[in-house]
């Protein structure tokens, strides 16, 4: 069975337009806990077994927004420009799918970014025994009809009432024909969802349990609620912090490596590698943030492979480990302790060097220097010490073990 997913994202989302979260445009492209709402819905469909293609209907003005948030997956078909109404947009999406003739189609509103794989799978499964099936929730609230003036006229019986959600799934030929008939019939009523069109066309539609989580985002308050739900879900990104410390002794030489920058000096620094204490401290800070051992464990000084190695290799490895967990680096900060050489003239080069090794903006890299008032080994110019801290965002269920 081929199953196409059709996500309708052509709306302008004006009702939610008041939220500061939505300044950047239509709500389906607004970041929701760090990822665009549309990307979340698309990823959920692509992760559900049985979905063979995915097409998004977009507003013609939103092509750049769409291109910026589309995940990389060969099953994604080119986006389809929508029409004046939601109903037109769905029909245009279905017509674009006609050449590929999927067996069934699941139609989804981009305004429901928190749809789960379970819900999609349940609707898909129901289509093996029903011509149509939609996700829905039994109504829990009592319904009142307003008599005007803010007064209750009547209380409506709620028994047997369900709130329709999406996905709404149908045999492809059925729903395409129903939409085309509705579009060409001037006497057709106004429909608020695809199941209503199917019912009007005489197609039996089953109710499949959805979830309260699969709510429709229409207001700024909904957006906040969705953010909070995602923030408390397993796998949500959370901040973690690590620290690092390193020392290298001066020896004969004419330069030192500090934070990936070669600085001429009357002495060198002694070590198995290039003795870049700031990069070693920073590597440990990043490894500490993800509780993944330390630099000595991953790059033993006893291993001849690291003799004279540029320390950027160690830092790149730590960044790779964070990326492998699905994390990202928020910021890093390094303090270098020495009487000489002077760090100030090289500070910006060091920040650029670290930013380039880690693939982050220079604004996320701090480099500071201090002396120890001629006290201790740094004060006696016997060596250089470096401290570092790093903050990373990683999925709450990530583990380097």
Q: In angstroms, what is the minimal distance from the CB of 272 to Mg ion?
A: 8
Which positions touch Mg ion (CB under 5 A)?
A: 246, 280
Q: In angstroms, what is the minimal distance from the CB of 386 to Mg ion?
A: 9
Q: In angstroms, what is the minimal distance from the CB of 277 to Mg ion?
A: 6
Distance CA 31, CA 231 (A): 13
Tokens of 177: 């024909």
Q: Kindly tell me which of 153 and 301 has the beta carbon lying closer to Mg ion.
A: 301
Q: Which residue's beta carbon is nearest to the bound Mg ion?
A: 280
Pair 45, 6: CB distance under 8 Å: no
Q: Kindly tell me which of 296 and 376 has the beta carbon lying closer to Mg ion.
A: 296
Q: In angstroms, what is the minimal distance from the CB of 276 to Mg ion?
A: 8
Helices then strands, counting H and E runs in the chain, come out as 12, 18
* Residue 31 exposed, middle or buried by CB count within 10 Å (0-12, 13-18, 19+): middle
Q: Kindly tell me which of 26 and 288 has the beta carbon lying closer to Mg ion.
A: 288
The three-class DSSP label of residue 182 is helix
Q: Kindly tell me which of 267 and 280 has the beta carbon lying closer to Mg ion.
A: 280
Q: Kindly tell me which of 123 and 281 has the beta carbon lying closer to Mg ion.
A: 281
Nearest to 249 by CA among 230, 275, 287: 275
Q: Kindly tell me which of 120 and 332 has the beta carbon lying closer to Mg ion.
A: 332
Q: Kindly tell me which of 130 and 248 has the beta carbon lying closer to Mg ion.
A: 248
For 385, what's the count of Cα atoms within 13 Å in the CB-facing half-sphere?
15
Q: Length of the chain, please?
A: 401
Q: In angstroms, what is the minimal distance from the CB of 78 to Mg ion?
A: 52
Distance CA 144, CA 155 (A): 5
Pair 334, 366: CB distance under 8 Å: yes
Contacts of 157 (CB under 8 A, 6+ apart): none
Q: Kindly tell me which of 195 and 277 has the beta carbon lying closer to Mg ion.
A: 277
Q: In angstroms, what is the minimal distance from the CB of 329 to Mg ion?
A: 20
Nearest to 136 by CA among 184, 86, 177, 194: 194
Contacts of 168 (CB under 8 A, 6+ apart): 106, 107, 108, 123, 132, 133, 134, 135, 193, 194, 195, 198, 205
Q: In angstroms, what is the minimal distance from the CB of 365 to Mg ion?
A: 19
Q: In angstroms, what is the minimal distance from the CB of 355 to Mg ion?
A: 21
Q: In angstroms, what is the minimal distance from the CB of 252 to Mg ion?
A: 18
Pair 162, 139: CB distance under 8 Å: yes
DSSP string, 12-26: --GGGTTSGGGTTS-
């Amino acid at each position: 069975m081929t199953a196409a997913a059709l996500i309708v994202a052509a709306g302008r989302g004006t009702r939610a337009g008041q939220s500061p979260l939505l300044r950047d445009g239509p709500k389906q492209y607004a970041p929701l806990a760090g990822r665009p709402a549309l990307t979340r819905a698309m990823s959920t469909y692509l992760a559900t077994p049985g979905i063979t293609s995915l097409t998004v209907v977009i507003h013609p003005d939103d092509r750049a927004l769409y291109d910026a948030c589309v995940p990389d997956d060969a099953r994604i078909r080119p986006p389809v420009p929508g029409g004046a109404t939601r109903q037109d947009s769905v029909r245009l999406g279905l017509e674009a799918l006609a050449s590929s003739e999927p067996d069934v189609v699941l139609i989804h509103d981009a305004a429901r970014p928190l749809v789960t794989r379970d819900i999609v799978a349940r609707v898909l499964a129901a289509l093996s025994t029903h011509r149509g099936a939609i996700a829905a929730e039994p109504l829990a609230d009592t319904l009142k009809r307003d008599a005007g003036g803010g007064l209750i006229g009547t209380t409506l019986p709620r028994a047997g009432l369900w709130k329709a959600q999406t996905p709404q799934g149908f045999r492809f030929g059925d729903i395409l024909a129903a939409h085309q008939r509705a579009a060409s019939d001037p006497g057709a009523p106004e429909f608020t969802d695809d199941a209503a069109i199917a019912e009007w066309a005489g197609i039996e539609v089953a109710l499949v349990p959805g979830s309260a989580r699969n709510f429709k985002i229409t207001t700024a308050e909904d957006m906040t609620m969705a953010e909070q739900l995602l923030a408390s879900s397993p796998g949500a990104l959370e901040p973690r912090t690590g620290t690092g410390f390193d020392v290298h002794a001066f020896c004969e030489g004419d330069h030192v490596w500090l934070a990936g920058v070669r600085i001429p000096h009357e002495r060198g620094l002694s070590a198995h590698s290039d003795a870049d204490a700031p990069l070693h401290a920073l590597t440990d800070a990043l490894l500490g943030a993800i509780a993944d051992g330390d630099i000595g464990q991953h790059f033993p000084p006893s291993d001849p492979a690291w003799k004279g190695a540029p320390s950027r290799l160690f830092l790149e490895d730590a960044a790779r480990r964070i990326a492998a967990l699905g994390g990202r680096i928020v910021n890093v900060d390094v303090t270098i302790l020495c009487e000489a050489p002077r760090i100030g003239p090289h500070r910006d080069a060091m920040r650029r060097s670290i930013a380039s090794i880690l693939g982050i903006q220079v604004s996320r890299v701090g480099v500071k220097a201090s002396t120890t008032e001629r006290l201790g080994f740094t004060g006696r110019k016997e060596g250089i010490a470096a401290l570092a801290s790093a903050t990373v965002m990683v999925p709450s269920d990530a583990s380097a073990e």
